[in-house]
Amino acid sequence: MKKEYREDCPEYLLGFLNHIRVIQDRTPRTEEAYYIDIRCFLRFLKIDHNDVDPNKIEFEAIGIKDVPIDYLKSFTLYDAYNYLSWLADERNNQARTRARKTTALRQFFIYLYDKAKLIDSNPVEGLELPRTAHTLPKYLSLNEAQQLLASIETRNTQRDYCIITLFLNCGMRLSELCGLDIGDISFENRTIRLFGKGRKERIVSINNACIAALKAYLPYRNTEGTTCDALFFSAKKNRISRRRVQEIVEDCLEKAGLANMGITTHKLRHTAATLMYQNGVDTLVLKNVLGHESIATTEIYTHINDDNVREAIDMNPLAEISKEKK
């Protein structure tokens, strides 16, 4: 996490973030996400205790270093629901955002009570997560995915084609792709090593399309004269950033005529999962390919596409019956 973030943290928050990073072995990005959510909560406490006047100071300017531990010791479940109401009414947070911040809050108080022993009880132990709407993942159809691959032509065509091929065939996460090193590829075993959430390692098979894309890209990569171990790197010869990969995908989607569909790098992962499932891959196998901890996460891909729904409706024996005009 960036040093300037830590400078505004009270000691108990630093302890929590260290626990997230060192004990739970979470990524810096996850640590930063927890910091941002708990910072919001501590700012709320300062407003709630009248330490600051929200009409006189911008919310983002409220410091949190001086929030006393006593505010947390006296915090109640009733206060927690007031906080969630404030997030909805004053911060206009949608249910999904409130659910994420509730999860962060619960983890924070578990640390304070169970790990650090800084409070005498856990006031949010019974705090429920806000109900969120379950939406089906967006994805490209097979024809659209083929259209995307066929239209890739950039200043770094071999690299960008390889990136999108890996997304569409392996269903890897953005962080997994950016973290790939040359040594993670084994053409002999037809595998690639990925480090997923929580830095959990898994080995994924690569198919002919991936092998062909990698073999076309590697000679180009090796002529660029980088000493970086990263498989994909930027113009500055550093490991490619998440944002740069997102820009590459956005540009390729636009050139393919697939912009404004809500497709992102993560939706390419959805595309890979959906296409595999639609072509007979078992959900348990798909769970391992995607690196999911729970089969419930994978089961979202068992949705039926619109074409199948339309076909089922058309097959109804009453489909051609209509009332005759008299």
Positions marked catalytic: 173, 197, 266, 269, 292, 301
Q: Where do runs of H (alpha helix) occur along 90-229?
A: 95-110, 142-150, 157-170, 174-178, 208-222
Cβ contacts of 71 within 8 Å, gap of 6 or more: 45, 49
CA–CA dist 17, 47 (Å, integer) = 23
Residue by residue, DSSP assigns 8-51 as T--HHHHHHHHIIIIIS---HHHHHHHHHHHHHHHHHHHHHTTS
The answer to whether the CB of 37 falls within 8 A of the CB of 100 is yes
Residue whose C-alpha is closest to residue 20's, from 157, 149, 241, 199: 199
CA–CA dist 211, 233 (Å, integer) = 19
